[in-house]
Amino acid sequence: MVNQLLAGVHIASGAEAMAFGARLGLNTRILFDFITNSEGSSWMFENRVPHMLDNDYTPHSALDIFVKDLGIVSHECSVRKVPLHISTVAHQLFLSGSAAGWGRQDDAGVVKVYETLTGVKVEGKLPVLKKDFILKSLPGEWPVDPIGEIQRLNLESSKTLVVLDDDPTGTQTVHDIEVLTEWSLSSDKATALIKDICRNLHAATKSIENADYTEADAAVSVLGEMDAWIICPFFLQGGRYTIGDIHYVADSDQLIPAADTGFAKDAAFGYKSSNLREWVEEKTAGRIPASGVTSVSIQLLRKGGPDTVCERLCSLQKAELRGKRFLCRTAASFVSARIGIIPKAPIFPKDLGINKERNGGLIVVGSYVPKTTKQVSVAKVAMSSTEEREEEISRAAEMADIFLTARKDTLIMTSRELITGKTPSESLEINFKVSSALVEIVRRISTKPRYILAKGGITSSDLATKALEAKCAKIVGQALAGVPLWQLGPESRHLGVPYIVFPGNVGDNSALAELVKSWARPVRLSSTKELLLNAEKGGYAVGAFNVYNLEGVEAVVAAAEEEQSPAILQIHPGALKQGGIPLVACCISAAEQASVPITVHFDHGTSKQDLVEALELGFDSVMVDGSHLSFTENVSYTKFVAFFAHSKGVLVEAELGRLSGTEDDLTVEDYEARLTDVKQAQEFIDETGIDALAVCIGNVHGKYPESGPNLRLDLLKDLYALSSKKGVLLVLHGASGLPKELIKECIEHGVRKFNVNTEVRKAYMDSLSNSKKDLVHIMASAKEAMKAVIAEKMHLFGSAGKA
């Protein structure tokens, strides 16, 4: 009776204390931790209050038992006339709880009496914190960067650090390191695998195991007992923070206790504890109690610095040098810090030299956590899986091949609905079935992607090892903070292809969309202005080739890609009249899909209407041809179009002077021709704001006379001196028929764009005279004939190899 009196009183007083703390607005879990380390604690307080905090009243000892036992105590004290004020009040509390219908619940449910009377909640649900406020309230970081000291200690040690991770996302913070691949397993399979790995690595001296799924005990069983296990899930890039022993996940400006996020609800690897000390107890099934876990606080880290932490942990590296052995179960941030790696800026396609790759990128999403689902939604893509497994695999692989070949970034994703089994093992088995389907789809894709992005830890591991057959890869760095970027090794199906390992728990809702956008193949590799400015810097010229049909377009693109040369697809008003919008669309599409810089130019725009329409059609540059007008009218006309074109970011070329000759049924007689005047050129450039000047120095449209061209190179030299000061580029029409030596001199005197038409047209017409059996053969022959002339010009202009 005396024992039950004390037990009942302690439970009731514990409930009262926690209700009072809740009314004061205190964090009841922190209050509980504080009281358990104070003199006010008792065994019953430590045993029953966690039930109250978890709102878990599964009966270990029913509330009605204390109604009965304290009733007996009350009766005996009445018979013996002993006033027991405290136990009598406790009895009334338990009696009230029983009357409320809680009698068969756990005796800790007596706290509900206080909750009902006062409206407070004792349940220790950790609050969501304001991220910026909390981080600013913490002590400032230790002022000395320890990376240098860490690197020095690493050099002093001849030992090799071995990092075990069951999915590729552990490479989130390192770079320039080789990675050997494996895959995610159930707890039993992971245990067996780690034992095998550790036996193979027995000569290695240390292990760091990332904390996602597998068991540290397996490593210990092979490598032997460790002096300490270090738990460090902090991961800055992934928004994972540990404050006051509570592990938080950042979401925008909030810090959410980890156990209250979708990551904790994983059917196979979930958890209930946000407090890391309690998490250890949970994961070890009580073998290691929370009270047996020592924590290193932020205050100790930031105020005390390495020496103070050394006293607490005996300094990880220094202790290792003295023979101490540690097993570190960590997130990726610890790995880079332990190795002494200096962070590297995110890597983009241009850093890897893949901007010229033609095919699209392959994005595979297997991660089903809520953050990934939101990210996929923001990326505005949706696909369904309604066919039978085999049909769906074949269909998805076939469609992916089609889109990749069409230079489209292609997304393959699993259903956003999470299907779980009755047990963690069943859930993992379902996961494996879905993952194996993804693997088979990717395995059947024959097109080499420009890059591959895998979303989710298990997904990225399975794809790397099973679908892509990667035995090793190089960790180049990160594509985004916390998002590893690999280059696949020599044994893989796609040697050197960038492989982006995007964890399911990293980034905000727009992170996936932004990353895919940054890795997308550029819509157009260059503008005409960029092409000509590069030519100015490199001392060469770019050919602008007039096109009239698909064969002409293909001839220019094929020659440019083969010679690795920039080029300009040029459409004359006469060609536009015949080919219309489809011809323009064909040129723009070809330029977009080419692996070298190609732009589209509208030539000899002699009317405002034609030029305005050309600007709306998407040309990269236009030529404003007012050469048939007086100087004053030419200035006014060119200035009007230039203003409109520049508002759209379009380069403007204009002609001063007038060329003789015939082009596309437009003829200028010799007596109408005029050379460019240098003084007028200065005024013309200043007034119109043009970007490029087409000069008349004796050049002609069409064929030159039998005596050959007679170009005024002295005039060209003076015009180049002027244009260089004004930042204007020089263009020479009528390049067909100019000898090699004259072309070279023109380039030396500043010509950066040559217009070529007559020779390419002649090659086309000559090819038609050859007898061919079929129209397709005639078209192919015409294309090859034009391509040969174009390639020759690219070498002559010096643009070959400059793409």
Give the chain's radius of gyration (CA, Å). 38
Lookup: tokens for 694: 């087409």
Contact 499/519 with Cβ under 8 angstroms? Answer: no
Cα angle 119, 120, 126 (rounded to 5 degrees) comes to 145
Beta pairing partners, 326: 228
Beta pairing partners, 21: none
Residue 333 per-residue DSSP state: H
Separation between Cα atoms, residue 704 and residue 319, nearest integer Å: 86
Q: What is the 3-state secondary structure (H, E, C) of 505-562?
A: CCCCCCHHHHHHHHHCCCCCCCCHHHHHHHHHHHCCCEEEEECCCHHHHHHHHHHHHH
Beta pairing partners, 256: 249
Contact 637/608 with Cβ under 8 angstroms? Answer: yes
In the β-sheet with 206-210, what is the strand arrangement from edge to edge? 161-164, 206-210, 326-330, 228-232
Lookup: tokens for 216: 């540290």
Contact 433/482 with Cβ under 8 angstroms? Answer: no
Q: Among 346, 415, 407, which Cα is nearest to 383's? A: 415
Q: Among 294, 273, 296, which Cα is nearest to 285's? A: 273
Separation between Cα atoms, residue 752 and residue 774, nearest integer Å: 40
Separation between Cα atoms, residue 324 and residue 160, nearest integer Å: 15
Contact 342/176 with Cβ under 8 angstroms? Answer: no
Among candidate residues 603, 610, 625, 691, the one labeled active-site is 603
Q: Does the active-site annotation cover 670?
A: no
Separation between Cα atoms, residue 181 and residue 468, nearest integer Å: 11
Residue 620 φ then ψ, to 5°:
-80, -25
Long-range contacts of 75-80 (CB under 8 A, 24+ apart): 76/1
Q: Among 477, 466, 472, which Cα is nearest to 501's? A: 477
Is 451 strand, coil or helix? coil
Q: Which residue has the tokens 């209250």?
A: 260
Which residues, including other chains, have CB under 8 Å from residue 383's CB and lie 6 or more apart? Answer: 411, 412, 413
Separation between Cα atoms, residue 544 and residue 566, nearest integer Å: 10
Separation between Cα atoms, residue 422 and residue 381, nearest integer Å: 31
Separation between Cα atoms, residue 705 and residue 328, nearest integer Å: 84
Cβ neighbourhood burial of 774 (10 Å; 0-12, 13-18, 19+)? exposed
Q: Among 332, 324, 306, which Cα is nearest to 148's? A: 306
Q: Which residue has the tokens 């230039």?
A: 642
Active-site amino acid positions: 603
